[in-house]
Every structure is written in C-alpha cells, then in structure tokens.
C-alpha cells in the first residue's frame, strides 16, 4: 500500500462546539473529504473557540511541525459575525497569500447560493503548509473545498517543490 499523498490537519473554530454545546459536523466532514477525495491522511485535528490568539497559536503549532503538514483546513469563523476571526488569524501566519483559491471557491459555490460571497475565507502558504479557511457549515465547507479540488493537488505539489507537476 502506498503512503497517503499529503499530510493534513483540520481545525474547527466554533465557540459552541468547543464547549460541547453541539456536535462538530464540519470538521469530520473535512476529515472524510481529505481521506476519500485526496487519498491523504489527517494527522491532526482540533476544535477551538473563535479566539484570534488561540487560532494563531494552533496554526503556528501545525506549520512548525516536522515533517511538514502539507494542508491545513479550517472550518468556521469566516463570516461577518463579531466573533468571526479566522481570516485575520490565518493572515497573521500566512507568508504568501493566495486569494485565487477562495475566489474560485466562492465563484463556483455562488452558482449554488449567492451566500457564498458572505464567506471571508482566505488561503495561502505558511512555511511549507497551505492554509485554507472554509465556512463553518458542513455544506459550505465541503462545497468550497470541492470547488477547488481539481487544482488542489497541483497546488500542494507545487508548494512541496515537486518537479513532476504534469
């Protein structure tokens, strides 16, 4: 059996789920996506409140791991609520922003619902990891990651410095 293509982590950002007031469904949906659609391994996952410093701390912990985590997906905290801090936290650790990934995700998912444009999700490289921040609903998170799936493997290989990108 071959090794999984990429090492991934999934971070759920939700005040209520972190307090066990309701079940996190978005994080497990993204874990299933990584395993099934990317044929990759989720080596870490967590559920934390929407507190900017805690988000930054968790992202920094993961981007500093060795061997590198190739892909970090977050779910939650990308809307307009006063408690939504995920994009700002992610931008504190992202070295090289890549707005095109979420522009593509929003434009494709807007065909399903124009509410896609309310997501303030961001993406970019942080050291050797690609961070993608997704909506908090399982439906929104999966629709957006599926929208960029056709180019995601290429992006991750490019970030690794893979010369065989064809």
The model's pLDDT over 88-108, given as tens digits with 9 standing for 90+, comes to: 999 999 999 999 999 999 999
In this prediction, residue 5 has a pLDDT band, given cuts at 50, 70 and 90, of: confident
* 86: in domain: yes
For residue 109, list its beta bridge partners: none
Average pLDDT over all residues of the chain: 94
Is position 77 within any domain? yes
CATH number of the domain residue 55 falls in: 3.40.980.10
Count: domains in the chain = 1
> Has residue 65 been placed in a domain?
yes
pLDDT higher than threshold 60 for residue 73: yes
Instruction: Read off the pLDDT band of 163 (50, 70, 90).
Output: low
* In a domain? residue 137: yes
pTM score of the predicted model:
0.95
In a domain, 165, yes or no: no
The residue-averaged pLDDT of 101-119 equals 95
pLDDT tens readout for residues 15-60: 999 999 999 999 999 999 999 999 999 999 999 999 999 999 999 9
Asked if residue 68 belongs to a domain, the reply is: yes
Residues 6+ away with beta carbon under 8 Å from 71: 6, 7, 8, 9, 34, 38, 40, 129, 130, 132, 152, 156
Is residue 2 one of the residues assigned to a domain? no
pLDDT at 165: 61
Tell me, yes or no, whether 166 lies in a domain. no
In angstroms, the CA 27 to CA 70 distance is 17
Q: Report whether 63 contacts 29 (CB < 8 A).
A: no
Angle at CA of residue 127, ends 136 and 17, nearest 5°: 20
Work out the pLDDT band at 1, boundaries 50, 70, 90: very low
Give the single-character DSSP code of 11: E
The domain of 15 spans 7-160
């Amino acid at each position: 059996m071959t090794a999984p293509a990429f090492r991934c982590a999934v971070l759920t950002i939700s005040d209520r789920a972190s307090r066990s007031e309701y079940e996190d469904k978005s994080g497990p949906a993204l874990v299933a996506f990584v395993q099934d659609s990317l044929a990759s391994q989720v080596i870490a996952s967590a559920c934390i409140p929407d507190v900017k410093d805690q988000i930054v701390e968790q992202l920094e912990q993961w981007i500093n791991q060795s061997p590198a985590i190739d892909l970090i997906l977050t779910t939650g905290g990308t809307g307009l609520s006063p408690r939504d801090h995920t994009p700002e936290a992610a931008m504190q650790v992202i070295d090289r922003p890549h707005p095109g990934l979420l522009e593509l995700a929003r434009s494709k998912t807007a065909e399903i619902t124009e509410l896609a444009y309310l997501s303030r999700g961001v993406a970019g490289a942080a050291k050797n990891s690609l961070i993608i921040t997704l909506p908090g609903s399982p439906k929104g998170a999966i629709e957006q990651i599926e929208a960029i799936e056709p180019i995601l493997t290429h992006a991750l290989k490019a970030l690794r410095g893979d010369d065989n990108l064809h």
